[in-house]
Structures are given as C-alpha cells and as structure tokens.
Amino acid sequence: MIQKRRDLLREAIERQGDISLEELQVLLPSVSLMTIRRDLIALEKEGLIIRVRGGAKSRKMSSLLQEPTYVQRLTSNDDAKLAIAEKAIEFVKEGRSLYIDSGTTCQAFAAKLPDDNLFVITPSPHVALEAAKRHNIRVNMSGGQLNRDTLTLSGTNAGQYMKGINIDVAFMAASAYSVQNGFTCGDFNEAEMKRLVIRKAEIVVVLMDQSKLGFSMPYTFARPNNIHIFITEGPLPDTYARALRRAQVQVL
C-alpha cells in the first residue's frame, strides 16, 4: 500500500516535472498532507525526487548537451567543493605521482596541496598554477588542445604524453553521474583522456558534488567498478550510495 502510493507520487512528479503539495493532495484525496510529506522525504532519500518549498520536482535522469562554462561553475557550490577538497587531501602522500583533473572542484583540491615532494600532472592550467605555488611539487601539464569552455587540455598529443606517465593516484572530475550511465562528461576528447588516465592509475578517486547527481552528459568515461573512492560533500541518497557500494567503491 505504502509503496503503491509512493509510486503514484513519483510518477506524477516525473510526468509533470514539478508539482505542488496541493496538487499531490488532489491526486490522493484520502491521504493526509503529513503523510504525503513523509512520502516525499522517503522518495528524496532514495534519490528519486527533489523536495522544494511547497512541493517537489523531478530528478528523472536527463541528458545535458552542453556543460556550464568554467566561469559559470567557478562560483557555484563553494562550500561543497571545500568539503570535498579537505576529505581528498588524506590520499596525498609524499613521493606520490598524482593526476589532478580539470574543473573547479579539482582546483579547490589543488589549493589544499601540501608543499611536499610530489609529482603532479594535470590537463588544467588553473590546477597547474595552484600546484606551482608549492616549491617542492614538480608540475607537469598534459599538453594538447585547450577547450575554451572547460579550460581543459586534451587530444592526441595529450594522450600520447599520458601513455608514458605512471600514476599513483588519479583525482578525477565528473560533469554528471547517473546509475544508468555512470560518470559522464560533455566532450569526446576529454572522455578519452579520462579513460586513459583511469586505466593507468593505481587508485582512482572521483571528486564530485551532489548537484551533479541524477544527470547524464553525452560521453561515459567510467562506471563505478572503474573507480576506487568517491568523495562528495555529505551523505549520498540511498540509490546512489547502494550502486557505488555494490561495486565496492569507498564512499566518503
């Protein structure tokens, strides 16, 4: 009975996109507003919907054709990026070879790096500049062509260079994650580069805030069984946590 009611609520939310509590009560006239609120809380915990003031909206997987630009992302979710960066630093040990991906979360992580004997390789000019502030870090860039929107280097030259690099830990960014399509991004060359890095790295750590959950970009570069550690800013909705843990991914 409870599951059937929640299925009806979820279907109505997905069908309409966003819906008010009053509309949901019209749909289920024999159910109290308090019960509907409890059902929405349960559905949100499962990662199926998003509660908003006075109602709910769909978190149904959608496909995005274009990523926000680097400048657009730079000032969004700052607290989440800092929380992720602080958790990720524990995987930085002196003497290691690190790959640090592009993106604003990876830039926040690079700003936390200690001034230790480290080898850092990155496709991101911003990450390189952050790492270069530490005198003991050797900084290398992957080369290739610069994507003006994402400010990431990729392409044939970058791939050839990376084939000769040994990586202890790869800190990867993702534009989106869905249970169906895995970790995705919006550029073909960048996806190819990410796949190559993941194959070469001893440990793969994905740094991603939860605003990117439940969506999909055009190019899948990894599934949960391709990574070892997933770092986000807080507890994951149950649907995503279960999918990652089934693949024996450590979730932080």
DSSP 160-224: HHHHT--EEEEEEE-SEEETTTEEEES-HHHHHHHHHHHHHEEEEEEE--GGGBTEE-SEEEE-G
**Stated pTM of the model:** 0.74
Residue 116: both structure tokens together: 């230790």
Confidence (pLDDT) at 99: 98
Per DSSP, the three-state class of 232 is coil
Radius of gyration of the chain (CA): 20
CB atoms under 10 Å from CB of 170, counted, come to 24
State the residue for tokens 């998003």: 50
- Decide: 227 and 250 in contact? Cβ < 8 Å: no
Instruction: Please tell me the distance from the alpha carbon of residue 45 to that of residue 213, in angstroms, as a whole number.
Output: 13
* Fold that domain 2-60 belongs to in CATH: Arc Repressor Mutant, subunit A (1.10.10)
Give the Cα separation of 176 and 212 in Å (integer).
Answer: 5
Domain ranges for the chain, please list them. 2-60, 70-251
Q: If you average pLDDT over every residue of the chain, what do you get?
A: 88
**CA atoms of 233 and 157, how far apart (whole Å):** 34
State pLDDT tens for residues 11-68. 888 776 668 888 888 888 898 999 989 999 988 888 788 887 788 877 654 445 555 5
Q: What is the pLDDT of residues 70-117, one digit of tens each?
A: 555 555 567 899 999 999 999 999 999 999 999 999 999 999 999 999
Contacts of 179 (CB under 8 A, 6+ apart): 239, 240, 243
Q: Does domain 70-251 correspond to CATH entry 3.40.50.1360?
A: yes
Tens digits of residue pLDDT in 132-184: 999 999 999 998 888 887 888 888 888 888 889 999 999 999 999 988 889 99
Please write the tens of the pLDDT for every residue from 206-247.
999 988 887 788 899 999 999 999 999 999 988 889 999 999
